[in-house]
């Protein structure tokens, strides 16, 4: 069983450490809404290799942020596909 963790709060409202304590190998993190501000921090470093990490493209654009080659962005359609692949979902 895998879990899709949807982060919606900015890094100033919820530290990533709280979420990472509950992430298991094979899980996926999706940063959407104000959680895309994690782009301003070095998010990829503390994540285990077995955990996939995505950012919602439209939310990045809406906030005027820029991505780099290390960040994987997805569309709303791809988000729906993630919900179908994972057994559970948690919204943070």
Q: Can you give the pTM of this predicted structure?
A: 0.89
d(Cα 1, Cα 85) in Å, to the nearest integer?
10
Mean pLDDT of the chain: 89
Domain ranges of the chain: 3-91
d(Cα 68, Cα 85) in Å, to the nearest integer?
26
Residue 56 tokens, joined: 């919602």
Question: What residue has token string 């899709």?
Answer: 4
Cβ neighbours, 10 Å, residue 16: 19
Cβ 56 vs Cβ 76: under 8 Å: yes
Span 9-46, pLDDT tens digits = 988 888 888 888 889 999 999 999 999 998 887 665 56
Q: What is the DSSP letter of 21?
A: T
- What's 3-91's CATH class? alpha beta
Question: What residue has token string 């979902």?
Answer: 89
């Amino acid at each position: 069983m895998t879990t899709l963790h949807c982060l919606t709060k900015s890094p100033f409202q919820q530290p990533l450490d709280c979420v990472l304590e509950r992430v298991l190998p094979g899980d996926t993190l999706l940063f959407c809404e104000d959680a895309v501000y994690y782009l301003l921090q070095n998010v990829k470093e503390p994540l285990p290799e077995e955990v996939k990490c995505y950012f919602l493209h439209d939310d990045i654009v809406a906030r005027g942020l820029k991505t780099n080659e290390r960040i994987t962005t997805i569309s709303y359609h791809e988000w729906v596909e993630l919900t179908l692949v994972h057994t559970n979902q948690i919204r943070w």
